[in-house]
Structure 1
């Protein structure tokens, strides 16, 4: 087991889905996230509603959500880590490490098999045991909806 998730005193982690700022989440995913541009707001809302677990990072003084992670899974054996971010102006304080640690190593997901797709931050995820798949792992790539097939994704 790794160290408990620690955040600077100006921030807090919370896994209450009701606290997620849906407008802030949509703003980041639709404007800044390279991996989410094919989604429309209705898709993001459905993903959030269906999430097995969410963890947010919030400024203590304002309550503003400045980071987020979502997990899909069965809650028993597997989980998929998605939509992990910390706003650029809040990076460099260990919030990304704390966020992933809270999601993956703490709480109900600590013993699950975790999966993830990412083009960046491999060093962060390696701290939590993420590595290239072995020869037992197969995957069918995502098929974008017709309307989004020409967009980034």
Structure 2
């Protein structure tokens, strides 16, 4: 998908793994992931890269069973490019995709509830649980 000077692609060959890892290492949700973990997560997921020319400025990852649900995660837009609607376009492209049609979408966020609610996601704090690995830094 092209939109002026920015474009979004699912082509994993375009992904700049080091850029993705650098951003995630500054995030609150993935700051302890190793480069190898980021690479493995990309290999095993549907990935969307956002580009300004040849520079990767955004990313999102989908984990799915292709039958009942998908998990939207690792969504980011580089700080320098925020406020231009690029992240909104990325999420819209994902939730409107034919391949995810009919599947329940879930995600976790600490600070972007309004964005995701505008796409039909609803808060459900009483229902979801998580289990962390016993040794997340191994």
Q: Does 1:47 align with 2:36?
A: no
Q: Does 1:113 align with 2:104?
A: yes
Is there any run of 5+ residues in structure 1 with no aligned partner, and where? none
- Counterpart selection for 1:18 from 13, 19, 41: 13
1:146 alignment partner in structure 2: 135
Give the C-alpha shift of residue 92 in structure 1: 1.0
2:42 & 2:91 partners in 1: Cα distance? 17
TM-score by length of 1: 0.81
Match of 2:32, SS state, is coil
Higher relative contact order (CA 8 A, sep 6+): 1
2:9 & 2:125 partners in 1: Cα distance? 33
| Deviations 1:77-114 (CA, angstroms, capped at 9, x unpaired) | 21000000000000111001011111122241132100
Is there any run of 5+ residues in structure 2 with no aligned partner, and where? none
Larger strand percent: 2
Give the C-alpha shift of residue 66 in structure 1: 0.1
- Counterpart selection for 2:49 from 56, 66, 72: 56
